[in-house]
Amino acid sequence: MTRPPLEFAWRSDRGRVRRRNEDAVVCLPEVRVVVVADGIGGASAGDVASDTAVRIISERFQRQPPALDEPRRAQLLAEAAVNEANVAIVDLARHREGCAGMGTTVVMGYFGDDWLLCAHIGDSRLYRLRDGKLRQLTSDHSFIQEVVDQGFFPSLEEAREYGINENVLTRAVGSAPYVVATTAVEDLAVGDIYLFCTDGLSGMVSDSELEMLLRAAKGGLGVVADALVHFALDNGGSDNITLALVRVNSVERCRKPDTAAGDEDESFLSDGDGDGDGD
């Protein structure tokens, strides 16, 4: 049986401590898009913020999917979709009772023919397993990451030992009238496995454990997705746990040269009229 070019699996779990799940995930295999979000605000409707973000961003790509050989267009659409979600969340926070102060992280990906466009805000992450080696592709928008980046500490581990709070975000969707997502385009290779996740997974399962589990992904991704959730629960499950996995089974090298940014047709940016496995 021929495998699809991309395989998907996704999971979301409340964890062992939290009373409700404020994470959200949308995977649309037919559109080749993944969106994961972690709501913030506690009693201030973090679940509303995360649900709003994944819905708006995924629907935008569903309505206007970029061509598989146009990474620049995908990048522009991701930036526009994240800001559309931001405006909606800011508006809800102002006008809906119980929503003041809410916000959310976002990490998303759109898979082209031989490339991946990723965008993120906050501390939800994207990892890649390639040739048996795990690499974190995103850098957290957090205070602890900033003090490490600025050279105050040589590593996150030493910053934590010093007592730096790792839960303080420096950027979130819904935290300001306008937000800027960090975007990047990564080349795809056959055999790559991409992990999108909230900090309920990355904070409970070490990088070495993530690498071990992803390297064991010989069959369906659903088994690995379940194992990742169980590891996080066994390690305490102190937060909601949400993840999406994508495995690359084939790559088509047919990308056209990107249009110069100043010549890009941006008219398409204006808006027109749980658990799962998929391929």
Provide the pLDDT for residue 269. 56
Provide the pLDDT for residue 42. 56
Extract the runs of DSSP E, i.e. beta strands, from 112-204. 115-121, 125-130, 133-136, 182-187, 193-197
Provide the pLDDT for residue 164. 79
Tens of pLDDT, residue by residue, the chain (279 residues): 678 999 999 999 999 999 899 999 999 999 999 999 999 975 568 999 999 999 999 999 999 999 999 999 999 999 999 999 999 999 999 989 889 889 999 999 999 999 999 999 999 999 999 999 999 999 999 888 888 878 888 887 788 878 777 778 999 999 999 999 999 999 999 999 999 999 999 999 999 999 999 999 888 899 999 999 999 999 999 999 999 999 999 998 765 555 444 444 554 454 444 567 765
For residue 79, count other CB atoms closer than 10 A to its CB: 17
**Strand 276-278 with 6-13, pairing:** antiparallel
**pTM across the whole model:** 0.89
Spell out the domain ranges in the chain: 6-138+172-250
Q: Which residues contact 117 (CB under 8 A, 6 or more apart)?
A: 71, 74, 75, 78, 109, 110, 183, 184, 185
Provide the pLDDT for residue 141. 93
Domain 6-138+172-250, CATH: 3.60.40.10
Provide the pLDDT for residue 235. 96
Provide the pLDDT for residue 43. 59
pLDDT tens for residues 146-199?
888 788 888 877 888 787 777 789 999 999 999 999 999 999 999 999 999 999
For residue 17, count other CB atoms closer than 10 A to its CB: 11
Provide the pLDDT for residue 129. 98
Both tokens of residue 127?
A: 């990892």
Residues 46 and 277: beta-carbon distance below 8 Å: no
